[in-house]
């Protein structure tokens, strides 16, 4: 919800008669959040979105989580995980708590149904691949290194044009631009590492006006259902407001760098209840003549830190690869591995790309993550004998 957007045809005032060329009325829908108290949009459908023909149970597999006990730092090599399928059905949950569930998926086919998660916003990160996020607000073309912010209640499907690896964070609340990046009116501040222009909004297509039987799978905090609806979810002639899906590519991120090491909050991208998101992108290193480019040792006593490694040379980490996830648990010190500090001295820039989430409640580990775990990771700060 970076700013007000309008798309397609709209009546000149809200809540008045708005007629189709055939004389019938368009069906206005208020898409609101926090009751009527927060951001919202108004959508104008060719036919009412309420025409439900059938509701059936949807038996989704229950994800079994276990505590990170004994408490330790963990490493999961997710690149080899079998998580093919469509972008919703193929998701493999790896980490989670009451605020957030983090999954990965290798979407290798289009969804032949629509999905609507009304349990909270979803944040997707496209590691590689391209395609279209088709929504009731229009189409969002996506590509590698895109974040996709999907508000709770958005009806969508993912149509990959090439196999797509995505990380999905399903929040229990709203995913927002951090408050400190916005002025009192909501506009992006000058010091923010991105600007309104950097966000892509859906392109509204010709409304699909073909009464039939369309499948919409609905999920809300563990309650699931398959709806059969008469009217196509993408029969919208126009919409406006502050609540809509949008995309942001890391190419547009203007990282904040400094004379000395900048901590993760300098690289914040989004925030959600109990979670803060950051992105590490190619950037110049610190310019103090004695600066140490890699991070210092660190004990994060208030949050679990999760990094998903995307591409480039991850200079401070040994043994990680693209698709690796490290979980640095609250209270377990972490930092550059042996030799990394010396190796970094004199380096002027990095080409690494990684995305991060810090959670303020402890994360649990999904049993589905265990097969790809490197069980020796917590010992990786021990000096290794020369090969
Ligand atoms: Fe840390």
The DSSP letter of residue 43 is E
Predicted pLDDT at 258: 93
Cα-to-centroid distance, 268 and ligand 1 (Å): 14
Using the mean position of ligand 1's atoms as its centre, give its distance from the Cα of residue 311 in Å. Answer: 19
Q: Strand, coil or helix: what is 369? A: helix
Determine the Cα–Cα distance for residues 373 and 255; give it in Å rounded to an integer: 31
Q: How far is residue 239's CA from residue 43's CA, in Å, rounded to a whole number? A: 4
Q: How far is CA 329 from the centre of its chain?
A: 21
Ligand 1 centroid to Cα of residue 315, in Å, is: 15
Q: In whole angstroms, give the CA distance from residue 130 to residue 194.
A: 22
Is the omega angle on the peptide bond into residue 70 within 30 degrees of 0, that is, cis? yes
The Å distance, Cα 92 to ligand 1 centre, comes to: 25
Question: What pLDDT shows up at residue 316?
Answer: 65
Cα–Cα distance for residue pair 95/141, rounded to 1 Å: 28
The Å distance, Cα 23 to ligand 1 centre, comes to 61
Distance 327 CA to ligand 1 centre (A): 10
Which of 233, 234, 109 is closest to 159 using CA atoms?
Answer: 109
Rounded-to-10 torsion of CA 153, 159, 163, 169? -10
Ligand 1 center–CA 296 separation, angstroms: 9
Cα 69 to ligand 1 centre (Å): 19
Regions of the chain where pLDDT drops below 50: none
Ligand 1 center to residue 328 CA distance, Å?
Answer: 7
Q: In this predicted structure, what is the pLDDT of residue 138?
A: 98
Structure pTM? 0.96
In angstroms, what is the span from residue 126 Cα to ligand 1's centroid? 23
pLDDT score of 385: 58
Q: Ligand 1 center to residue 381 CA distance, Å?
A: 14
C-alpha 361 – ligand 1 centre gap (Å): 15
User: Measured in angstroms, how far is the CA atom of residue 307 from the centroid of ligand 1?
Assistant: 10
Q: How far is the CA of 299 from the centre of ligand 1 (A)?
A: 7
Q: What pLDDT is recorded for position 24? A: 97
| Chain segment 162-194, per-residue pLDDT in tens | 999 999 999 999 999 999 999 999 999 999 999
């Amino acid at each position: 919800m970076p700013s007000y957007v309008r798309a397609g045809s709209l009546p000149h005032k809200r809540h008045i008669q708005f007629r189709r060329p055939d004389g019938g009325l368009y069906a206005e829908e208020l898409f609101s959040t926090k009751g009527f108290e927060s951001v919202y949009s108004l959508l104008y459908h060719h036919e009412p979105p309420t025409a439900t023909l059938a509701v059936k149970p949807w038996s989704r597999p229950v994800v079994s989580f276990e505590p990170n006990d004994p408490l330790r730092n963990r490493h999961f090599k997710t690149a080899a995980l079998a998580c093919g399928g469509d972008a919703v059905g193929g998701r493999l949950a790896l980490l989670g708590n009451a605020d957030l569930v983090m999954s990965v998926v290798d979407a290798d086919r289009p969804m032949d149904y629509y999905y609507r998660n009304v349990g909270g916003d979803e944040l997707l990160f496209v590691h590689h691949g391209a395609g279209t996020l088709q929504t009731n607000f229009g189409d969002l073309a996506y590509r590698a290194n895109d974040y996709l912010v999907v508000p709770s209640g958005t009806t969508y499907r993912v149509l990959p044009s090439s196999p797509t690896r995505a990380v999905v964070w399903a929040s229990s609340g709203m995913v927002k631009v951090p408050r400190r990046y916005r002025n009192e009116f909501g506009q992006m501040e000058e010091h923010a590492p991105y600007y309104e222009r950097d966000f892509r909004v859906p392109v509204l297509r010709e409304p699909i006006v073909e009464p039939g039987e369309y499948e919409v799978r609905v999920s809300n905090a563990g309650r699931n259902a398959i709806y059969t609806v008469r009217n196509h979810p993408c029969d919208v002639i126009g919409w406006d407001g502050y609540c809509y899906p949008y995309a942001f590519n890391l190419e547009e991120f203007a990282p904040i760098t400094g004379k000395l090491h900048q901590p993760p909050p300098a690289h914040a991208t989004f925030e959600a209840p109990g979670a803060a998101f950051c992105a590490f992108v190619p950037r110049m290193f610190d310019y103090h003549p004695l600066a140490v480019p890699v991070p210092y040792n660190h004990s994060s006593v208030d949050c679990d830190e999760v990094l998903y490694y995307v591409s480039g040379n991850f200079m401070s980490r040994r043994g990680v690869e693209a698709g690796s996830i490290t979980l640095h648990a609250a209270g377990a010190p972490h930092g550059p591995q042996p030799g990394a500090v010396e190796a970094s001295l004199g380096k002027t820039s990095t080409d690494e790309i990684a995305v991060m989430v810090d959670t303020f409640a402890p994360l649990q580990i999904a049993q589905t993550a265990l097969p790809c775990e490197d069980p020796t990771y917590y010992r990786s700060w021990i000096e290794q004998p020369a090969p």
